[in-house]
Structure 1
Amino acid sequence: MNGTMKAIAVTGVGAAVAVGRRMTARRRELHRGRSDHWLAVTVDRPLDAVAGAEALPDPLQRLREGIDVRFRTAPGDRGTEVMARPKDGGEVSREDLRVALRKAKSVLETGTVIEPDTPSTTHPGPAGKVLRMVIGKSAGEGRL
């Protein structure tokens, strides 16, 4: 790889990092102070099997004092929506709540929290490093 190609690669990686940081800052700005914004996951189980449980799954139960939780039938009768939001003045962060919802979905569907065996990329190059950084940051504010 000649010097010009290296410079282009480094510039591209720098631009990707800058865009990622801007998007993260924008997302935080949008959700700051919005305790009325419900986060939701769809669980592939009927409403009565999820909402009729004695207690919330452990990942949500640990946050119970600081969150509001609702259950409803998912659109098209395709399972149950589990919705949660931080209570006003509560100490639960949106990031912690998102992680708890993802884990609760896993527990409700499989009985355990499923973790990936290997990282999603093992590519040692600049693109792999950027991807690992983005994936690491998305653990809290990524997809449910």
Structure 2
Amino acid sequence: MNAALKVVAVTGVGAAVAVGRRVTARRRELRRDRSDHWLAVTVDRPLEDVAGLEPLPGPLGELGERAQVRLRAAPGDRGTELLAVPEDGVSREDLRVALRKTKSLLETGTVIRPDTPSTTHPGPAGKVLRAVIGKAAGEGRL
């Protein structure tokens, strides 16, 4: 390989890396700002049943005007979609938890919570496990 070809190859690789970094940074930036994205859950009840409830039960109804809520029929005749976007100081995590609890109330009449694992104890490892489980309830991931 002659020197000119090596320079072209190195320049091409450098440009590809720069473009890749720019694309990755843009994706990361888009993921970070999701404040205008609607959160949604599908409730296994017909739209007519859910639309007749005013206000919605549980935490979603308690938020009132602090969250915008929409109802629509779920695709494939599979119930109702509850969509919400936070407003006025409500965090997305709090709204996500409210949506999940409201879904549970609408489907079963109670908020279903997982059993405490038998491996938890009041020691340091048990405290860490409880903290991790508590965090996972909000965002659905650790």
Structure-1 separation of matches of 2:130 and 2:118: 7
Q: 1:121 to 1:94 in 2, by over 3 A?
A: farther
Structure-2 separation of matches of 1:121 and 1:84: 35
Structure-2 separation of matches of 1:71 and 1:115: 25
- Mark the runs of 5 or more structure 2 residues left unpaired by the alignment: 1-27
Structure-2 separation of matches of 1:38 and 1:121: 36
- Mark the runs of 5 or more structure 1 residues left unpaired by the alignment: 1-26
1:122 aligns with 2:128: no
Q: 1:120 to 1:74 in 2, by over 3 A?
A: farther
Residue 98 of structure 2 aligns with an amino acid whose one-letter code is A
Q: 1:133 to 1:84 in 2, by over 3 A?
A: same
Shift of 1:131: 5.9
1:68 aligns with 2:82: no
Structure-1 separation of matches of 2:31 and 2:118: 30
- Count of residues paired in the alignment: 112
* Equivalences for residues 1-144 of structure 1 within 5 A: 30-32=31-33, 34-87=34-87, 90-116=88-114, 118-120=115-117, 122=119, 133-142=131-140
Structure-1 separation of matches of 2:128 and 2:118: 10
Residue 30 of structure 1 aligns with an amino acid whose one-letter code is R
| Structure 2 length-normalised TM | 0.66
Aligned partner of 1:22 in structure 2 is none
Identity within the alignment, %: 69
The SS at the match of 1:63 is: helix
* Greater length-normalized contact order (CA 8 Å, ≥ 6 residues apart): 1
| Structure 1 length-normalised TM | 0.65
Shift of 1:138: 1.1
Structure-2 separation of matches of 1:123 and 1:35: 35
What CA RMSD, in Å, does the superposition of the two structures yield over aligned residues? 2.8
Residue 139 of structure 2 aligns with an amino acid whose one-letter code is E
For the Cα contact (< 8 Å) 1:43–1:108, is it kept in 2? yes
